[in-house]
Amino acid sequence: MPSSNYFYSCLRLCFQLPNWVKWGIVLFICSIYSILFYNLFVSPTGFRWRAIYGDPDYPAGYTIHGIDVSRYQGSINWNRLRNAMIERSPIRFIIIKSTEGGNHIDTNFRENFSNAKEAGFIRGAYHFWSNNSTARRQAYYFLAMVHLEPGDLPPVLDIENKPQNISTEEFQQNILTWLHIVEDKYHVKPIIYT
């Protein structure tokens, strides 16, 4: 058991170190942990953290900026948002999550939709595509829950992933079905947000 004795000797030596050295070791270990955590978990999915830290790479030459909001932003301070700037340009439009799938409405949609208009923003509503409902059911649910008015942005379809169990062509046809149903109602081509 020489390795066990070696371990206990090292442990005894650590307890005899001055406090400033112990704190230095703890800070070093925390720094290494933070670097590893960032590189392994945060950096590969960095786009998910943009809502917290902002996206520093906006297209050059564009002065019209907007944001999307949903229940994940919680209660929004619309007066403060009215004066918010992105790259020295004011926020002009808000796209608000309305529905998801064939039976889910964002809990903050109605409040956000109303408040965005009162705050003077151009507003829009987006439907989050779900692979668990048919295209028709999702389109008609969106139309039942969202009542766009003149001056609002065209309806938006947010598509994040394709189901593995159908072909690309079938998936495209499903998306087109949603787009055609919604276009027939509003007489404007929907925006695809992906």
Q: Give the residue numbers annotated as catalytic, written as ranges.
A: 68, 160
Distance CA 41, CA 95 (A): 28
In angstroms, rounded to a whole number, what is the distance separating the alpha carbons of residues 70 and 113? 10
Q: What does the alpha-carbon distance between residue 143 and residue 152 come to, in Å, rounded to a whole number?
A: 14
For residue 46, report the phi and psi dihedrals to the nearest 5 degrees: -55, -30
Cα separation, 139 vs 101, in Å, equals: 9
Q: Is the dihedral of CA 81, 82, 83, 85 positive or negative?
A: positive
CA distances to 152, 174, 175 from 144, in Å: 17, 19, 18
Which residues are within 8 A (CB) of 133 and not within 5 positions of it... i.e. 6 or more apart? 101, 102, 103, 141
